[in-house]
Structure 1
Amino acid sequence: MIKLLRSFNLHYGEESREVVLENVKSNISFKGANLWILACAIVVASVGLNVNSTAVIIGAMLISPLMGPIVGAGFALGTYDFDLLKKSAKNLGVATLVSLFVSFLYFLLSPFKEAQSELLARTSPNIYDVLIAFFGGLVGGIAITRKEKGNPIPGVAIATALMPPLCTAGYGLAIGNFAYFSGAIYLYTINCFFICISTLFIVKLLKYPKIKFVDAQREKRITRTITVLLIIMLVPSFYLAYSLLQERKFTQNVSTFIQNEFAAKGYTVIYERTQFNSREKRIELAFLAKRFSDSELKGLNDRLGNYNLDNTKLLIRQDSVDLKKDILAEINKQSQHVSEKDITIQNLRNELAAYTFTDKALIEEITTLFPQVSPFSIGKQNVYINKDSSHLQTILMIDGKNKLNEGDLNRLESWLKVKLKSDAVSVITRDN
């Protein structure tokens, strides 16, 4: 057991503390080359977010020097070096402002303003981002104190992801979306704070000596301040994580409801939109052909509770004009390549179907009861009474060779009117 515990001893392979502190101090400053590298990394990350390229974003995180002042702040707090803490905070502030300005300028000039999935992923931080920042920061703190730095440093830069939130905040400023800006800045603050705290934890664990003497009362005040900041950072992230969990449950329940109540019955859903973040949750659907009566809609709303969809209202869009607009808006929003031409083609197909006679059973009855009419044609056409008035009429046209008498023609026409439950029926003979 003792041998196993020794295997976890952090002092094994530890670099000289003087060398570690010297390296930390040298990585804090944002002047000259460091500032240029930061600005270039921000542009690369912004392009990656703009075109939704994960590989480009990872590359930007690898070349970014943002970790320096954050780690420096952690070491400063652990060793009570307040001069180093001020320098670290000042340089982090400069780096943050430069990053925001560069990303804001890029997105302001970029012709592509649509929020991609990589951008949206940085607007809603939660407790999982806290865990990533803290444990990523622990790895970074351990790696910095080693003689052999190895692979952890690049991995920490990718895992803690400081660049994307800053670029997303710049995007929020460029398009005037405060929700995006505040969410991204909160994520960036979480990352900075918990990387700093995890570095402080490693410094305390390795028992780095204090640079300045601090009395017990001041040390207690510093600890209390850090604790308050921890609570301020953690409480919103727990709430956001809970909201995310509830939203995912809602989405899964909606999917089950649609599958059981519609897809399993052969109804084709062509439009779906859900609203979770509202006082009354909503599900909006539209179908290819099925139209629902008021009683059916009431029954569907009553059954929402069976799927744990309480405080949820089901709306089925059956207005074709408004629905068409919403479908086109949703298609554009999801970046799917469906054009107005496709909608027009579908509408033409629907109009053509109105003129096509598809009752095969009736055609079989005609050929059985009136075999002398074959060959014949049957279909629907517009009959115009005047320029402002017309109606659809079913026309059965018989070849003139059949020589049907007037009585047979009248009997066939009367029979068709009864079968079709319409007076708009005509039987005519085509002269050859």
Structure 2
Amino acid sequence: MKEKADKSKNEDVDKHITASDVKFYFTDLFKEFIDLDHGVDKEGTISVIKAKQSMSGANAWMLMCSIMIASIGLNLDSQAVIIGAMLISPLMSPLLGIGTGVAINDRDALYHALMHFGAAIIIALLTSIIYFWLSPLDELTKQILDRTSPTFFDIIIAVFGGIAGIVSIARKDVSTTLPGVAIATALMPPLCVTGFGIANGLWDVASKSFYLFFLNSFFVAFATYLILRRMHFPYKEHSSKEEQRKNIMIVGFFSLIMIIPSFLIFRNVYVDYKFSKKIETFVNEVIGNKRIYLDDYTLSEPVDGQKLLLLKVYGEVISDKDKPAFKNALDSLGLKNISIQIIPTTEIKLEKFNELEAQVREVGERYSAQIDKLKEEREEQREVVNRLKSNSDYLIRDSVKFESVNSSLKILMPEIEEIGMALMQYKTHDDSIAKIPTVIVEWKRPSKKRNKQLHDYIKLEYNLDTLKLIEK
């Protein structure tokens, strides 16, 4: 009994120790997880940042080369070329120097970092402006347009990119981490786009892209400042509490200036995104199963507050008769200022429509005139096709045409009792066989004059050279 009691007591002690060990294990694990100080050479890190931030000599040439490569990539709409240019760009180093100068309160270091950063901007802008001014390509490619819509997400990318950059330098992992940070924060392409905008007089493109560059730059430096303070890097004390408070207010003020416009731009991007999702909902749910007959759709820029949704369709399954239902569906989705135009795919390509749209805008015409022009082109194409068709085959095949002619004859010649049309075979005296379009007609009151009028009318309607008319 005594042995069993001792054994039970030891098991209780073991259980108590195990629970305590687990608690301490996870506590130590968490502390190690958030520890950034271990293995960091603080003085060495500051020296490395100061040494690499210079924008002269080799770094200046590297920057010019990377800017030139990135500009070509933007011109050619090549993402791979742009990424290659970012890998060799030295733009990150002055930003890390700015963040370090603020974090350790070293005014000399901050001043030199700002000077080198300013020099980098001047070198980059001059290089890109010269290239785009000389380049014969002035198209706004997708890669260029992507650098003109800075949002709040760019701030998040810049912050985490700055954190990764300063941590990699502090831990001497520069060769493996910093190139990835340069790609993620994408500092250089927006600066190249600014040069493109200036060279081509597109000031809206230049201002938005430079704002994106400055946004990324500011928050890379800001993240550097936060991490170095978290690592407790050596700090030069402020001469007074008032100066310290002033510096904090300056940093906070610039942060707000950078953040607020990005929120506003993000709001516009989000509104456009919601709008495009509603259009997709309309296409998927309203057009639904008929979507297989929808070749493409596009939404034009608004004119007098009215946008035009252009549907390019196959055949006549989707036609103008569907427009009222489509308009009601758009209204129910909250898309009230949209009109719909349906264009068959045999009529014209959307690319040509966009080209004509630009021409119409230049002379101040409206969309109605443009659509009329497109329909006229369709009628001309249809006439060419009709002329190429075999008249005799067309006579047999086209029951729709016969119904149309018959309806007209009921009005023009109401005394017709019965009429039929066919392609008949006739054998001549030399045993040759001829296929001749033939009309068989029965009149209420036969008349040679009426026969002649009917004969001429049918030939004209079907564009026939030969027609035989038989009276019953």
Task: State the match for 2:45 in structure 1.
Answer: 20
Percent identity over the alignment is 29
Task: State the match for 2:467 in structure 1.
Answer: 428
Structure 1 residue 213, shift from structure 2 partner: 3.6
Task: State the match for 1:165 in structure 2.
Answer: 190
Structure 1 residue 306 corresponds to structure 2 residue 306: no
Q: Does the aligned pair in 2 maintain the 1:253–1:307 contact within 8 Å?
A: yes
* Structure 1 gap ranges (5+): 334-342, 377-396
Q: Map Cα deviations across residues 227-259 of structure 1 (whole Å, 9 max, x no partner).
A: 111111111112222221221121121123234
Q: Distance between the aligned counterparts of 1:3 and 1:318, measured in 2?
A: 69
Q: Map Cα deviations across residues 33-58 of structure 1 (whole Å, 9 max, x no partner).
A: 11111111100111111111212111
Q: Aligned-residue CA RMSD in angstroms?
A: 4.2
Counting helix residues as a fraction of each chain, which structure ranks higher? 2
Helix, strand or coil at the partner of 1:80: coil
Structure 1 residue 215 corresponds to structure 2 residue 240: yes
Q: Does the aligned pair in 2 maintain the 1:80–1:214 contact within 8 Å?
A: no
Task: State the match for 1:381 in structure 2.
Answer: none
Matches within 5 A, 1:14-413: 14=40, 16-149=41-174, 151-262=176-287, 264-265=289-290, 268=294, 272-275=298-301, 280=305, 282-287=307-312, 297=323, 299-309=325-335, 311-316=336-341, 327-328=351-352, 330=354, 349-355=381-387, 356=389, 357=394, 358-360=397-399, 374-375=424-425, 399=436
**Aligned pair in 2 of structure 1 residues 318, 26: CA closer, same or farther (>3 Å)?**
same
Q: Map Cα deviations across residues 295-341 of structure 1 (whole Å, 9 max, x no partner).
A: 865554333122232x4221427799xx96974263799xxxxxxxx
Helix, strand or coil at the partner of 2:338: strand
Q: Distance between the aligned counterparts of 1:138 and 1:186, measured in 2?
A: 21
Q: Distance between the aligned counterparts of 1:70 and 1:86, measured in 2?
A: 12
Amino acid at match of 1:359: D
Structure 1 residue 347, shift from structure 2 partner: 7.1
Q: Does the aligned pair in 2 maintain the 1:13–1:147 contact within 8 Å?
A: no
Q: Distance between the aligned counterparts of 1:262 and 1:313, measured in 2?
A: 16
Q: Does the aligned pair in 2 maintain the 1:72–1:85 contact within 8 Å?
A: yes
Q: Distance between the aligned counterparts of 1:349 and 1:32, measured in 2?
A: 65
Q: Distance between the aligned counterparts of 1:274 and 1:42, measured in 2?
A: 35
Q: Map Cα deviations across residues 198-247 of structure 1 (whole Å, 9 max, x no partner).
A: 00011100111223543211111111111111111111112222221221
Structure 1 residue 10 corresponds to structure 2 residue 36: yes
Helix, strand or coil at the partner of 1:375: strand
Amino acid at match of 2:48: N
Helix, strand or coil at the partner of 1:275: coil
Amino acid at match of 1:312: N
Q: Distance between the aligned counterparts of 2:136 and 2:216, measured in 1?
A: 30
Q: Distance between the aligned counterparts of 2:55 and 2:72, measured in 1?
A: 23
**Aligned pair in 2 of structure 1 residues 279, 64: CA closer, same or farther (>3 Å)?**
farther
Deviates more, 1:298-307 or 1:112-121: 298-307
Query: How many correspondences in the alignment?
Result: 388
Greater radius of gyration (CA): 2
Amino acid at match of 1:250: F
Bigger relative contact order, structure 1 or 2 (CA pairs below 8 A, ≥6 apart)? 1
Q: Distance between the aligned counterparts of 1:403 and 1:76, measured in 2?
A: 99
**Aligned pair in 2 of structure 1 residues 238, 422: CA closer, same or farther (>3 Å)?**
farther
Helix, strand or coil at the partner of 1:285: strand
Q: Does the aligned pair in 2 maintain the 1:282–1:312 contact within 8 Å?
A: yes
Structure 1 residue 292, shift from structure 2 partner: 6.4
- TM-score in terms of structure 2 length: 0.71
Q: Distance between the aligned counterparts of 1:237 and 1:76, measured in 2?
A: 26
Q: Distance between the aligned counterparts of 2:441 and 2:328, measured in 1?
A: 60
